[in-house]
Amino acid sequence: MIVLWIVLGLISLLLVLLLAAVIHTLLIPGKQSTYRPDPDPERAETYARKLADMVRYETISVPGADLREKFLGFHKVLEELFPLVHRELEKTEIDGNLLFYWKGQKSDRPLVLMSHQDVVPAEGSWEHDPFSGDIADGKVWGRGASDTKCSVMAFFQAVEELLAEGYVPAQDVYLSSSCTEEWSGDGCPKLVAELEKRGVKPYLVCDEGGGIITEPIGGIHGNFAMVGVFEKGKADVRFTARSGGGHASAPPAHSPVARLAAFVNEIETHPVFRRKMPKEVAAMFETLAPYAGFPLKLVLSNLWLFRPVLLKVLPMISAQAGAMIRTTMAFTQMSGSDACNVLPQEASISANMRFIPHQGMEESLDIVRKLAEKHGLDMEVLAANDYTEPVDIHGEAFRTVQRVIAETFPGCAGSPYVMTGATDSRFYQKICDNVVRFAPVIYGPEQMKGMHGVNENIEYNCLPGAVDFYRNLIKSADK
């Protein structure tokens, strides 16, 4: 009888909590994302032509290669497209990496606008040649159109226009663009070192990473400005199994490949990393909740009740959302014997890991190292860096970015989110406390698919908004 009363009591409590959540949800006014680009067609087409010229100049970067001369050629394209920037600003070139200095009325709260020049290789069959820079169907086509020559074009154009108007910024402005971002090279660190040498401590850095994302979560429709507030750390790790080799006709137990397979299977089927919702992810859900239909709105607006459920199901319904709540590990490369009938003396598998703040680099690597030892594997960390410190989402700098988003893109909600990839901006964390990741262009499903894939493109009707965002961000120091 006592057990029955306990069960009934728990059911009653659950019903009361659920009723409270329903009432709370009903009291939250529903919202719609109404932002759609409605630019001056003449401006949009002018910017499209400039971006197309930039795309036509191939800037594929190769790890470790000296490609300075190639990028110097690209700089000539920039000089032709943005003559006032090159005439009025102080230019510093370091091994193909660019830094422009625009002297403001004050120097105590400098602004850095950044994005990279280099692109990844263009493989596969494309509708438009990857370096054609074709303008068709309302889009600029080609490698780099969306990742991220669009934002390079936009902030250069913003400064070009402000210079033409005779504007002098209230604070110093720097334009920063590396040529090694796509392989995490040393380009951006060289630019940061140059600023360190000058004693510059930026107040705000705005890089790529986020963007105006169409339908950021299934069931939430429209365009939303997703602002990356920190990056997960990352590591490339190799696991190696060794044996005496031999003929495959008499295989021993626990061969190298079998041990690797058992290790991978354990990682894949028994989650080893702790799930926790960072406050930035909770803020993202709370921001997006009013735009959702009732069932999703109920869950997202009542994290006090549904957080445990979300932590359980998020990785199953969205890989991107799941990556925001835990360290991830993806197996990417394998090697073994050179012949089907020969047991390998050595077999290996490599993985890419991404570290979340609540379980950072050291703890995550230690967990995996113990599992590797359990399966008789050697573990080698090829490269690693930890997560970056988050921007204060209640601080003045983040509020400034949100205000500029609202001013530039009316009807477009701005939201913090976790950057699961890696950008050059992490190097600026050394000298800046407010590093945000936001490219002010629209990324729909087609654009998201094209980045690092085939048929990369950007719809050029969003380019005027991108230019206006950078103009407004520069001028925000006037207020």
Domain limits of the chain?
41-231+389-478, 233-274+326-386, 278-325
Q: Any bridge partners for residue 242, and if so which?
A: 346
pLDDT of residue 2 exceeding 80, the answer is: no
Q: Any bridge partners for residue 174, and if so which?
A: 101, 112
Q: Which residues contact 38 (CB under 8 A, 6 or more apart)?
A: none
Look at residue 317 in the predicted model and tell me its pLDDT: 75
> Are the C-beta atoms of 441 and 212 separated by less than 8 Å?
yes
* Alpha-carbon gap, residue 390 to 429, rounded angstroms: 10
pLDDT of residue 27 exceeding 90, the answer is: no
- Answering whether pTM is above 0.85, one says yes
Q: Do the two domains 41-231+389-478 and 233-274+326-386 of this chain adopt the same fold?
A: no
Percentage of the chain with pLDDT > 90?
75
Mean pLDDT for the chain?
92
246-285 burial code (b ≥16 CB/10 A, e <16): eeeeeeeeebbbbbbebbbeebeeeeebebebbebbbbbb
> Could you confirm whether domain 41-231+389-478 is CATH 3.40.630.10?
yes
Look at residue 143 in the predicted model and tell me its pLDDT: 96
pLDDT of residue 211 exceeding 80, the answer is: yes
Fold adopted by 233-274+326-386: Alpha-Beta Plaits (3.30.70)
pLDDT of residue 7 exceeding 60, the answer is: no
